[in-house]
Chains A and B, each alone.
Chain A
Amino acid sequence: MIARFAKIAFGTVAATLAVCAHADEDVLSNSVRLGAYYITYDTSADDLRGPYVPPGINLKLKDVVTPYFAYVRRLNSHFSTELAFGLPPLTKTYGKGPAKVGSVPYNDQEIVTARWFAPTLLLNYSFFDESARLRPYIGAGINYTRFYSRKSTAAADAATGGPTSISLTTSVGPAATIGLNYRITRRFYVIASVSASQVDSDLTANTAGVLRKTHVSFNPRAAVIAAGYSF
């Protein structure tokens, strides 16, 4: 899996390098974007496994909205690269499963909070002529997600049995996007896009040395509305 991602990553970078050398100096080749990410999760996870875990203990994530930033580099009239990232949102994970574990509430309880640093590097293809005001585009690339500030909540500590540390392995996975770019002026434009990426992680909860684990596919789907400035 890592080898496959490596090929994608190096392929993307190689393509960037190849076209960078032919960048047209007469057009505005760089732009930055600022907008909003609306991220929804189509999370699927194995039931938590480990000592003292009743069947059916699972989790789900709540949607988040966070500022979106991107740097876009024009490669030629159709291709561009986009490095996109959001201000790492505080993502809240909720219990999914039985209403109670013993007598401790579980389902729909906020159990873990974490922040994600998740830049995505995309190679985009824009349709129509470069002079068109409205240009649809599609893109593919790679997402890197690293989790930090992971916290088990008091509700989770009650359910898991005590102060709990959470680890989530870093994820590298493919990403894809589809969007519309509307040019307002030579320098200003707006975009709207939806994108998806594969974010898989192994979650380990450690409570007094007792480890409970699961594999989580977060499957984030992001909708973006942003304004861009070319220079």
Chain B
Amino acid sequence: MLRLVSGLCSLGMAVSVMGLAGCGSDTDAVTAGTSTDRGSLVYNPPLRVASLTAPDFQAQLAAQAAGQSLLAIAGAPTCGVDIYHIEYNTVGGAGEKTTSSAALMVPTGGAAAGCSGPRPIVLYAHGTQTDKTADLADIQNPSNAEGALIAAVFAAHGYIVVASNYAGYAMSSLPYHPFLNGDQQSKDMIDALTASRTALPSTPSSATSDNGKLFISGYSQGGYVAMATHKALQAAGVAVTASAPMSGPYALEAFGDAIFYGSVDIGSTVFGAMVTSSYQHSYGNLYTQPTQVFEAAYAPNIAADILPSATPIATLFADKKLPQTALFNSTTPVTGNAQLDAALAVPANPVFALGFGTSNLITNDYRLSYVLDAVNNPDGAVPTPQVGVPPAAAPGNTLRQDLKTNDMRSWTPARPMLLCGGDQDPTVFFSVNTGTMQAFWAALPAGLVTVLDVNATPNPASPFAPLQVGFQTTIAGLLASGGQEAVVENYHTTVAPFCTVAARGFFSQF
């Protein structure tokens, strides 16, 4: 009996002690890849973020005003869309190993409707994002307008979409973003493509497969990245069916010169912070002390890679971590050279003048040193276009050197390309970028490079005429409702859906 009592008491004690000691998790293992080779998947199969039938996707879009506009431009979805978040290994701006992520959007539905079976791939590059957590796969997030755009325009119409979030964003392990680093960003895109091709057969959407046609597109920063990716794939001997870079800063050195001369674009402080962070990490040649480039109030923030950030950009502006518009000081440098001083003065154009203020980002000394180098080693497109619009032969300023390194006036496409944009774009200047590339490639065979200005007078014979009419009607509506300020503020983003649908139409020829 005593033994039994003792047994009970021991059991009671054992249960109690086991309970107290056993409060940890009891977790099953999750298989993860071990390779860190470029383009290898971190997880396979990847996470399916959403699975939408065509009617559900249409209903989701129709529930919001922006979605209704998108449906009107892109047309109703004809396919369902499965959206995957993939993580893959790639490299950073200095060649360091890192991870990046992408959205893989797979059309689903009947093969006869062009929604499954062998389908073409659109490799898509997104525009500048200040939100470090931004993820194109997060299709339920109302702020993910670009993810919804490419899903609605491409995936819901039968294209497999591979869209990198870029290293430095979402779940990437890179602590900065290699903004407008053509070599890194094209590698990131190519690695996203490799990883997606590996992942697709192991997903529930494997009824859809790669048919071998590869299209490349992207908007704004992504327009540049798309062109850089086309260049890199062509150099590697990989077949590209066609590409459609849109509203991108292709002629980077010319664009930089235009800005430093005083034609400051909308968003310049964001782009300035991001491009200097990127090039300093990639090349380490912009400064030894950030105050050599930036005003003391902002220099520590730029050096600490303030962008992209999980903090909303409006908060960063409100907290004076970054000036909202003032790239340069409104008291401009005085050199004694009347012509140069006039070039450096605050411009009469009110949009460019927004880039000047008293709480400015870039010091007068740095601006002057940059412009003096531009005067002594001029770019062939800015300020005065030269024959062939070449970049400067030997720029001395290190930022100009870096911009030239990444300038797209360094190659010639061998496959068809559509360059789409709007000629009044105050964010990424059309003439300085698209116009310069058009001039640079002027001698190419007709039809190889097509330029579409959605703001140009529509040619009724052009398949793009309805998009031009639609864009111009939208801008007229903006002007009527919000005045010129609304147009300036929204012009760049308004171009995007019209050019994206134009890209789809362009790709459909092949």
By a beta-carbon cutoff of 8 Å, the part of chain A in contact with chain B is 2, 5-6, 9-10, 12-13, 16-17, 20, 23, 25, 29-30, 51-52, 54, 71, 73, 81, 83, 100-104, 119, 121, 142, 144, 146-148, 150, 158, 161-163, 165-172, 202, 204, 206-210
Contacts and interface: CB of A to CB of B under 8 A. Distances in A.
A206 B1 contact: no
A161 to B, nearest CB: 4
A16 B4 CA distance: 13
Contacts of A101: 50
A206 B43 CA distance: 11
Contact of B47 (A2, A168, A202, A208): A208
Interface string B373-390: 000000000000000000
Contacts of A71: 8
A158 B56 CA distance: 16
Contacts of A204: 25, 27
B80 A103 contact: yes
Given A51-B135, A102-B52, A172-B19, 11 more contacts: A6-B16, A13-B9, A30-B4, A73-B5, A102-B140, A103-B53, A121-B12, A150-B28, A166-B28, A170-B24, A172-B23
Interface of B: 1, 4-6, 8-9, 11-13, 15-20, 22-30, 32, 42-53, 56, 80, 84-85, 87, 135, 137-138, 140, 204
Contact of B30 (A52, A121, A170, A208): A208
19 contacts: A5-B19, A9-B16, A12-B12, A16-B12, A20-B9, A52-B49, A52-B137, A52-B140, A73-B8, A102-B140, A142-B16, A148-B26, A158-B204, A165-B28, A168-B25, A172-B20, A207-B47, A208-B85, A209-B42
Nearest to B60: A102
Nearest to A3: B20
B27 A13 contact: no
A176 B84 CA distance: 47
Nearest to B170: A51
A107 B215 CA distance: 39
Contacts of B49: 52, 161
Contacts of A172: 19-20, 22-23
B197 to A, nearest CB: 17
A206 B15 contact: no
A170 B26 contact: yes
A5 B15 CA distance: 12
A9 to B, nearest CB: 3
A170 B1 contact: no
B47 A210 contact: yes
B18 A144 contact: yes
B211 to A, nearest CB: 25
Contact of B140 (A20, A54, A166): A54
A71 B5 CA distance: 11
A147 B28 contact: no
B44 to A, nearest CB: 8
Given A25-B1, A103-B80, A144-B19, A17 B26 contact: no
B20 A9 contact: yes
Going nearest first, the 7 A-B pairs with the smallest beta carbon separation are A9-B16, A144-B19, A165-B28, A161-B48, A167-B27, A208-B43, A208-B47
Nearest to B4: A30
B123 to A, nearest CB: 22
A206 B22 contact: no
A147 B18 contact: no
A162 B52 contact: no
B24 to A, nearest CB: 7
Contacts of A144: 15-16, 18-19, 22
B19 A170 contact: yes
Contacts of B138: 51-52
A119 B25 contact: no
A100 B56 contact: yes
A100 B137 CA distance: 18
Contacts of B80: 103
Nearest to B137: A52
B23 A83 contact: no
Given A17-B9, A52-B137, A168 B26 contact: yes
Contacts of B56: 100, 102-103
A160 to B, nearest CB: 8
Contact of A206 (B5, B27, B85): B27
A147 B50 CA distance: 29
Contacts of A168: 25-26
B47 to A, nearest CB: 4
B27 A161 contact: no
B23 A170 contact: yes
A169 B24 contact: yes
A75 to B, nearest CB: 9
Nearest to B43: A208
Contacts of A29: 1, 5
A26 to B, nearest CB: 11
Given A166-B28, A208-B30, A2 B23 contact: yes
Nearest to A145: B19
